[in-house]
Amino acid sequence: MQSFSTSSYLSFFFLFTTLSFVKTVLTQDGFCSAPLRIGADSNSQPLYWKVTNPTLSPSHLQDLPGFTRSVYKKDHAFITPESQVFSPLPDWTNTLGAYLITPAIGSHFVMYLAKMQENSKSGLPPSDVERFIFVVQGSAVLINISGNVHKLKVDSYAYLPPNLDHTVETDAAATLIVFERRYSGLENHVTEQIVGSTDKQTLLETPGEIFELRKLLPTSLAYDFNIHS
Ligand SMILES: *[C@@H]1O[C@H](CO)[C@@H](O)[C@H](O)[C@H]1NC(C)=O
């Protein structure tokens, strides 16, 4: 970012609840979303079940051809499961992708679901583009140019700095959420590969809120965005 002030710090805020109803709001400062936690029978299905197995709509009366809750506006879009279109991801092997947010609608980043099948492999983002991946189903292996291997399970994530050669590979089916963004670097600040899982991050104080909040990336200047979970 050009400015150092925290108010212009771009922040992505993403949360997936048992209902996977993610309400997105684009503010001047960035993109954020808040969950609705309604009568969760959360224990009967795997975590993020609704992300990988979306139903058409909460009310079957609305499951009519052409019905969608997706919203496309000048400054934001909210693409709901019934509007997701999966097609092969270019440069990836055996992987289908569905774009949820793209620069075409004016955002500064892309967000897509990558459904990796058996023996699949990721492609690289364009040059100078940083990548953040989050595993919502299955598991994947991250290998970087130095040959370091990390196993990523559900709730694990990785930040890959721009131009860091890496692959994400799976033997069996896995689903990732991927964010990619053209890095806006500052001189003398560089980002590094980060691998973590949400449960290892400290809970931040959010008095009066029903959600739990964690920052998944450092807040130092080098990182030009953050992911809140
Ligand atoms: C590859 O991953 C290892 C361990 O996660 C990390 O220490 C190393 O810096 C990474 N390589 C590059 C070129 O970033």
Residue-range domain boundaries for the chain: 6-200
Residue 166 Cα: closest atom of ligand 1? 1
Q: Identify which of 194, 199, 96, 221 has the alpha carbon closest to the alpha carbon of residue 154.
A: 199
Cβ-in-10-Å burial (0-12, 13-18, 19+) of 144 comes to: middle
Q: Identify which of 211, 188, 213 has the alpha carbon closest to the alpha carbon of residue 203.
A: 213
Percent of the chain with pLDDT over 90: 35
- CATH classification code of 6-200: 2.60.120.10
Question: C-alpha angle 39/175/172, rounded to 5°?
Answer: 125
Per mean pLDDT, which of 59-73, 154-168, 174-188, 192-206 is the most reliable?
A: 154-168
Query: Residue ranges of the alpha helices (H) in the chain?
Result: 49-52
**Ligand 1 site residues, Cβ closer than 6 angstroms:** 144-146, 148, 164, 193, 195
Q: How confident is the model at residue 89 (pLDDT cuts 50, 70, 90)?
A: very high
pLDDT digits (tens, 9 = 90+) for 114-169: 999 999 999 999 988 999 999 999 999 999 999 999 999 999 999 999 999 999 99
CA 56 / ligand 1 centre spacing (Å): 41
CA 176 / ligand 1 centre spacing (Å): 21
Residues ≥6 apart with Cβ < 8 Å to 148: none
Percent of the chain with pLDDT over 70: 63
Alpha carbon distance 101, 103 (integer Å): 7
pLDDT, residue 5, reads 32
Q: 178 and 213 in contact (C-beta within 8 Å)?
A: no
Which position has the higher pLDDT, 58 or 229? 229
Nearest CA to ligand 1 atom 4: 148
Q: How confident is the model at residue 32 (pLDDT cuts 50, 70, 90)?
A: very low
pLDDT at 179 over 70: yes
Mean pLDDT lowest among 13-17, 164-168, 188-192, 196-200:
13-17
